[in-house]
Amino acid sequence: MIMESGGDCLPGVPALLTESAFSQTYREYLEKSGILDGRYRLLKLGDMVALPVHEEKFNVTVQENLLEIVAPGSSCKKMFITSPVLSKRGRVHPPAQKLRMELCSLLESYGVTWTPDLERDLPHSWQRHGDLIVFSEDCFGSPIWKQLGNELWSSVAGSLGVKRLAKQGRVLNDGVRSPNVTLLLGDNGWVEHVDNGIRYTFDLTKSMFSAGNIVEKQRVATLRCSKEIVVDLYAGIGYFTLPFLVHAGAEFVHACEWNPYAVTALHRNLEINKVSHKCQIHEGDNRQLLLRDVADRVNLGLIPTSEAGYIVACRVLKKNTGGILHIHHNVDCYPSKHEGDIAAQDPERSRRMIWRKWAESTKTKICMLLQEVHNIPWQTSIVRIEKVKSYAPHVDHVVLDLDCRPLP
């Protein structure tokens, strides 16, 4: 018996039985309406034909249509094909289906019956990093999986064609944005990504991969920073430090990072991209940074806010010529009463107004800090406010480019 799950997990495949003379007309109609289950072959039973269907899409209206409009004179009976034969399409299993089949037969070999709860407990999507797959936290919660231990993870990895597995928990709010990823199979969590021609390697059980910052990373890559000294106050594994060096042509980057795991990855990334000689890593809390008066540009890539780094950025900016600050922030875009009216008519405009309000107040704050730090008057002006990503409903992660110059 050929079963999708490789065992007795299904009672059979639901099908519609009709006369051979009408089977082609039935097939066309069922295919067009998405009711035909193309994973199985049609079954000839004497002068009748059984057409496999998706049961949940078949109802009385469909049956009436078939009998009265599509093929008058036909008969239409629901049945189950107990020995379904997979079609060409059905033999190619998407990974989620392969995984389900594998686990179904694994449990069966231990005499455990497949249940709807187990079905719901399966992962339906995951992140693949080369030979390592990371599942989200909402799967494999059932106690039965724990009992199977490593045998389970080996089968899962085998069916998905990888060597290592991990499971995602919530990102910890511990200041270093620890990823809370647990390794299920394999002995290390090091993975590699290539993005815009730059290689990034990191241990994903220790450092976070910020896929959402891709647009901003690309924007940084297009900046022209030759002859510029950049300070990256929140370097992580180098998501901005590297584009500054590799693409924007920065002369030198001072990269600050206090998470030792991220520092290890940053060292490796500078090496594999051959730019170590143009970067100094300052390990530790950037608020203790001793650098002063060196930077043409400062990157403050921390959310929800990089406010704690404003004073540090002001100190490192060149006293005589100033420079540009890239300030990241999560802006709460829930409109006030007045803004609510605009938001109802033009939500995009309303959001931009709220971003600008934050940007204006930041501009003033930075201007005052610069005067305080350097003891001379400064001028700050907004060059650009860009959305990096939607962080949550009504919360936008934005970046402000602020031009800061000492007044003559």
Ligand X SMILES: C[S@@+](CC[C@H](N)C(=O)[O-])C[C@H]1O[C@@H](n2cnc3c(N)ncnc32)[C@H](O)[C@@H]1O
259 binds ligand X (CB under 6 A): yes
CA distances from 368 to 81, 371, 375 (A): 78, 5, 10
- Selected binder of ligand X within 228, 257, 296, 396 (CB under 6 A): 257
- Give the footprint of ligand X on residues 17-76 (CB under 6 A): none
C-beta of 76 vs 230, nearer to ligand X: 230
- Asked if residue 18 lies in contact with residue 46, where contact means CB atoms within 8 angstroms, the answer is no
> Which of 23, 201, 205, 210 lies at the binding interface for ligand X (CB under 6 A)?
210
Beta bridge partners of 404: 323, 380
Query: Given candidates 262, 279, 313, 385, which one binds ligand X under the rule CB under 6 A?
Result: 262
Task: Provide the residue count of the chain.
Answer: 408
Those residues with Cβ within 8 angstroms of residue 236's Cβ, 6 or more apart along the chain or in another chain: 207, 208, 210, 257, 259, 262, 266, 301
Q: Which residue is nearest to ligand X (CB)?
A: 236
Residue 307 CB, nearest distance to ligand X (Å)? 11
Q: Which of 360, 361, 403, 358 minimizes the C-alpha distance to 380? A: 403
Task: Examine residue 330 and tell whether it contacts ligand X (CB under 6 A).
Answer: no
Here the tokens at position 119 are: 């079905």
Residues 219-238 that bind ligand X (CB under 6 A): 234, 236
- As measured in angstroms, the least distance from the Cβ of 365 to ligand X is 18
Taking the complex as a whole, the smallest distance from the CB of residue 328 to ligand X amounts, in Å, to 8
Nearer to ligand X, 37 or 216 (CB): 216
CB of 161 or CB of 284, closer to ligand X? 284
Site for ligand X (CB under 6 A): which residue of 64, 285, 293, 346?
285
Among residues 43 and 262, whose Cβ is nearest to ligand X?
A: 262
Could you give the CA distance from residue 252 to residue 254 in angstroms, rounded to a whole number? 7
CB of residue 324 to ligand X, shortest distance in Å:
16
Pairing state between β 13-19 and 77-81: antiparallel
Torsion of CA 91, 94, 96, 100, to 10 degrees: 0
Residue closer to ligand X by CB (options 51, 256) is 256
Geometric angle at alpha carbon 100, from 95 and 104, rounded to 5°:
150
- DSSP-derived letter for residue 112 is P
Residue among 141 and 175 whose Cβ is closer to ligand X: 175
Min. distance of Cβ 248 from ligand X in angstroms?
Answer: 15
Using CB under 6 A as the binding rule, whether residue 391 contacts ligand X is answered as no
Q: Which one of the spans 65-73, 75-83, 175-183, 265-273 is the region binding ligand X (CB under 6 A)?
A: 175-183
**Which of residues 184 and 373 has its CB atom nearest to ligand X in the complex?**
373
Which amino acid would we find at residue 239? Answer: Y
Q: CB neighbours of 331 closer than 8 A, spacing ≥ 6? A: 354, 355, 358, 395, 396, 397, 398
Does 273 help bind ligand X (rule: CB under 6 A)?
no
Query: Is residue 252 involved in binding ligand X (CB under 6 A)?
Result: no
Query: CB under 6 A: which stretch of 31-39, 71-79, 132-140, 257-265 binds ligand X?
Result: 257-265
Indicate whether 315 belongs to the interface with ligand X (CB under 6 A): no
Token digits of residue 224:
């022209």
Contact between 168 and ligand X per CB under 6 A: no
DSSP string for residues in 327-380: EEEEEE----HHHHHHHHH-HHHHHHHHHHHHHHHHHHHHHHHHHHHHSS-EEE
CB of residue 272 vs ligand X: minimum separation in angstroms? 17
177 scored as a contact of ligand X (CB under 6 A)? yes
Closest CA to 327 of 277, 383, 375, 284: 383
List contacts with ligand X (CB under 6 A). 175-177, 210, 213, 234, 236, 239-240, 256-259, 262, 285-287, 301-302
